[in-house]
């Protein structure tokens, strides 16, 4: 499987959901990367706390928050 950076213009390849994309500005790419980096940082902290239902929900909600923030940028 080929990996494509999320900030790459090639991210539009083989996406069955979106049929058209717009090219992101450098500022939008930087913001998207920052959101993903902060999300990952928080997920790593949550993972270091152990395992529980509450932490599982926190992980899911963090992933959802990152998704929605990135969607705002890429819409």
Give 11-51 pLDDT, tens digit per residue: 666 666 666 677 899 999 999 999 999 999 999 999 999 99
Predicted pLDDT at 15? 64
Query: HSE (CB half, 13 Å, CA atoms) of 20?
Result: 1
* Burial environment of residue 10 by CB neighbours within 10 A (0 to 12, 13 to 18, 19 or more): exposed
At what angle are helices 26-48 and 53-74 packed, to 10 degrees? 180
Q: Structure pTM?
A: 0.75
What SS3 state is found at 21? coil
């Amino acid at each position: 499987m080929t990996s494509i950076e999320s900030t790459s213009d090639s991210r539009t390849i083989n996406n069955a959901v979106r049929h058209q994309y717009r090219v992101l500005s450098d500022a939008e790419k930087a913001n998207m990367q920052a959101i993903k980096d902060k999300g990952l940082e928080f997920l790593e902290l949550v993972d270091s706390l152990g395992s529980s239902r509450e932490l599982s929900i926190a992980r899911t909600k963090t992933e959802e928050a990152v998704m929605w923030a990135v969607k705002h940028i890429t819409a």
